[in-house]
Structure formats: C-alpha cells, structure tokens
Amino acid sequence: NPATEQVIAQVAEAGVEDVDVAVRSARKALDGEWGHMKASDRGRLLLKLADLIKRDEEELVMLESLDSGKPVSAIRRQDLPAVIDTLVYYAGMADKINGQVIPARADALTYTVREPVGVVGVIIPWNFPLMIGMWKMAPALACGCTLVVKPAEITPLTALKIGELALEAGFPAGVVNVVPGFGKVAGQALVDHPDVDKVTFTGSPTVGRQILQGAAGNLKRVTLELGGKSANIIFPDADIDAAVKAAGSGIFFNTGQVCSAGSRILAHADIYDEVVERLAARAKSMRIGDPLETSTSMGPLVSEVQMNRVLSYIDIGRGEGARVVTGGARATDKGYYVQPTVFAGVEHEMRVSQEEIFGPVATVIKFKDDDDALRIANGTVYSLAAGVWSADIARVHRFARQLKAGTVWINTYGPTDIRLPWGGARDSGFGREHGDMAIENFTEPKVVWINTGR
Ligand code: NAP
Ligand code: MG
C-alpha cells in the first residue's frame, strides 16, 4: 500500500512455465466451447461480467485503492463507471463484427469474415489497472479471442479479482488467464511465446521497444500505448478560469500518473505570470491524504521507485534552472507522497520539458505567438494528446489540424470515451484502442472465394 508503505498481500509470482501453461490453456479454450459460441452469447457474458463488477464494486474500489494509492473517490467516479461502460459497449459489438460481400468477379462469390486473432497477451500498467485492463480485455473477448493477462507486478489485485468474476460470469475456463509476475520474467515470456498471436501493451517506450523485438520471433501483432509529454496551450482570449482549472486536473489527476497528462502547460507571454500564479494556487489547494477518505483529491505515487523517479526529476529541473513555484518535495514522511509541483521559467529544451515524469509536476512554458506555440507543442518525441484553449475559431481549427497528437482537446482537457479511438504515434506507440478500431486489433480478416462459374 503506497499510502502506508505496508504489505497488504502476498501474490504468487508466475514464472516462464506458468505463462506457458496459461498460453496452452488459452489455446485450448479457443478450440473449445468458446470458439463455437454464438457471438451474441459472448456479448451476454460481457454484460454478465459488468453486472458482477457492479455487484462487487466496493470490493474492487478498495482493492484498487489499497494496491495503487488511487483515491477511492476517483475510482468510484471515473474508473469503475468506465470499466462498466467499456463492457457494455463491447458487449453490444460482439454480434456486429461483420464481414463484407465484395463483388470482385462475375464467376465468383467473394466475401470476407473477421475471425478472432487468437491468443492475446494483455500487458497492463499500474496507473489504471482496472480501466486500462478492461480497455484491452473487453474488445478482445467480444471478438472471441482468449487472453493471458499480465498485470503490473505492483498492482495485480484487481486483475485477479476480474479473473475470478469472469469464471463466475460463465466464461469457459481458459478464456481469461491471469499471470501476476514481473515484467522481465512473466511479461517477457508472454511476449516471446511462439503460440501467442497478439500483444496489447500500455507502458513505457523502453518496454514497448523490447516488446517489438520479442514479438518479431513469431511476428506477433502488437499494439503499443506508450505515454507522452502532452502540451496544454492557453491563449489570452481563452476562459482563463476554466483553462487553469482543467490544466490543474490535467496534470495532478491520478498524481500525474496519466499517459495523457497535460504535463507541459504552454501559456502565452501576456498571461504567463497569471497562469503560473493561479496554477500554483490550485496545486496548493489539492487535498493530499489517505486515499480511503472521500475528501482526498490526491493520493501517493504508486511506489517508492516512482516517487524517487519523480523527486529526481524535480532535482533535474532545479539544476536546469527552472524555478519551483510551489511543491518540490516529499509531502509526508510515511507513504510515497510528493507535493503537487509547479515549475516556472521552463525552457523547451530542458529535460523536464522533454521527458515523461509521470508524477504531479507541471512545467509552465512561455510562448509568444501561434507559430511558437505550435513549434514547442510538437517539439518532443511524443505524439499522444494536446489541448488548446482559445475563443478564436480559426485558430482552434488550425491547431487541431497541425498538432501532432492522437487526440486534440479544444477548450477542455483530458476526457476520454470508449467510443473514440485512443492512441498515438512516434514514441507514444502505434495502433488505436477503443471504438470499432479495437475490433481491427483483435480480428484477422479472411477472404472466402467461391467459384460459381458463369
Ligand atoms: P513499464 O515497465 O513499461 O511497465 C508496464 C507493464 O509492462 C508492466 O506490467 C510491467 O511489468 C510490464 N513489463 C516490464 N518489462 C517487460 C518486458 N520486458 N516484457 C513484457 N512486459 C514487461 O512501466 P514502469 O517501469 O512501471 O513505469 C516506468 C515509466 O513508464 C513511468 O514512469 C511512465 O513514464 C511510463 N508509463 C506509462 C504508462 C502509460 O499509461 N502509457 C503507464 C505506466 C508507466 P512489471 O510492472 O511487473 O515490471
Ligand atoms: Mg518497469
């Protein structure tokens, strides 16, 4: 428990052999009852799982909070509803995965069907264990795949509970396998396994690259969602109140451990000081504390490693000459809490402005005009998300077109919806999750060509 530094559970560590057993069980399930099930019945199982999650909601909230340090209020408000929405959405899609009749020739009936891609390795990070896990599991199951799920070593509890609930819901044994363990061992074994057809991963670019290399062995299909250093751009003609409020939650929500965190706040020179000052006030007003208290708005970082990583970035920022306006240190002696931190005087080239910190650290960067904002916003290796605040309709459309990002938010920051494609490019990875694009990730098209003669 990162809030107390206490051990809350002992979890078995899957080794290479365990992963192999899980993959074989997933392969077998693919050829059994599951493989012959009506698509609408797969949808019904997903709905049933949603009902069981609703029934056990409070247990899941507690597990997720104790394991990750996320405030219960946020899990209740955001993660759990998103998990259920995801299941209901893909439940409805299970029997709408259509092929096409494509009239290629006069002497043939030619059509396509979409078959499940097969055994899917699902590798989950610790920042949204339940929600990101379900973003991957629900569409894969809707498509008829079977899963081997490797949760992050430090947050395995809710994935194990979901495995239990999947069995209770009636998914045949072997359809959902959960292998808690270390990334280097269990994760790597899954990635290297010759009988895994696809890996879907969310996490760091470093591991993303390792996954691509491992996947080369049997040419697994891969989807990678690898985070970012997203720009949130504020112009003087924006609603500054709303912009600063959203910029605050854009970086401090989930203690900054969000792939699309608005970690670079780009403020126009005319309002720079005002934005810095107001953002600092918002940082100071965050209610840091026990994640189990409903009034808490910010919990600890997920682990000691992550806390030290964030603190070392704060040192790096200071060393580079950026100014800590508020925060900048551990918040408590016990628990991995770091004060919400605002850096001003940040230059675009600094490491704190280029590298993903994954903590409650806002960097505020000054820009002078539209071109300058665009140059800075697009000037990292990432390409996941961006935000623009302005009342100028031509400007926001121009930015929507020119920003390099998988999602551009205009006069808002951060919302996601399972109906909308999610993902990025360059070091943010490739492929899109969510919506019907996820169906492409988990199906393989097949052409059937019937010679009819003429
Ligand atoms: P990470 O190493 O990329 O972990 C993500 C997942 O991959 C975990 O389940 C991890 O398992 C697993 N993994 C690690 N090495 C693996 C390997 N060789 N083969 C297969 N799976 C492997 O991320 P992290 O070290 O926890 O965090 C480091 C940084 O990554 C963060 O500071 C942040 O910048 C970024 N990150 C981004 C996101 C995002 O949403 N895009 C999420 C988390 C982290 P173990 O945890 O058991 O090692
Ligand atoms: Mg790691």
Which residue from 122, 127, 204 has its CB within 8 A of the most atoms of ligand 1, so it is best to mutate? 204
For the segment 235-242, the average pLDDT, to the nearest whole number, is: 98
If phi > 0 it is left, if psi is from -120 to 50 it is alpha, else beta; for residue 170 that is left
pLDDT score of 148: 99
pLDDT given for residue 391 in this prediction = 98
Q: Which ligand is nearest to the CA of 132?
A: 1
pLDDT tens digits along 189-211: 999 999 999 999 999 999 999 99
Confidence grade of residue 449 (pLDDT, cut at 50, 70, 90): very high
Say what angle helices 80-93 and 39-55 make with each other, to 10 degrees. 170
Which pLDDT belongs to residue 33? 97
pLDDT bin (cut points 50, 70, 90) of residue 108 is very high
DSSP 203-256: S-HHHHHHHHHHHTTTT-EEEEE-----EEEE-TTS-HHHHHHHHHHHHHGGGG
Burial of 108 (0-12, 13-18, 19+ CB in 10 A): middle
**What number is the average pLDDT over the span 405-428?**
98
Cα(48) to centroid of ligand 2, in Å?
34
* 116 C-beta closer than 6 A to ligand 1: no
Q: Ligand 2 centroid to 126 CA: how many Å? A: 10
Report the helix count and the strand count for the chain, using DSSP H and E: 17, 15
Confidence of residue 355 (pLDDT cuts 50, 70, 90): very high
Ligand nearest to the CA of 153: 1
CA–centroid distance, residue 204 to ligand 1 (Å): 5
pLDDT at residue 45 in the model: 98
Which residue has the least CA distance to atom 6 on ligand 1? 125
Q: How far is CA 342 from CA 159, 254, 266, 276, 297, in A?
A: 34, 16, 13, 8, 17
Query: Which bound ligand lies closest to the C-alpha atom of 210?
Result: 1
269-309 confidence digits (pLDDT tens): 999 999 999 999 999 999 999 999 999 999 999 999 999 99
Q: Which residues are catalytic?
A: 225, 259
What is the structure's pLDDT at 375? 98
What's residue 18's pLDDT? 98
With 0.95 as the threshold, say if the pTM is over it.
yes
Could you tell me the distance, in angstroms and rounded to a whole number, from the CA of residue 203 to the centre of ligand 1?
4
Average pLDDT for the chain: 98
Tens-digit pLDDT profile for residues 10-27: 999 999 999 999 999 999
Question: What average pLDDT does the segment 317-335 reach?
Answer: 97
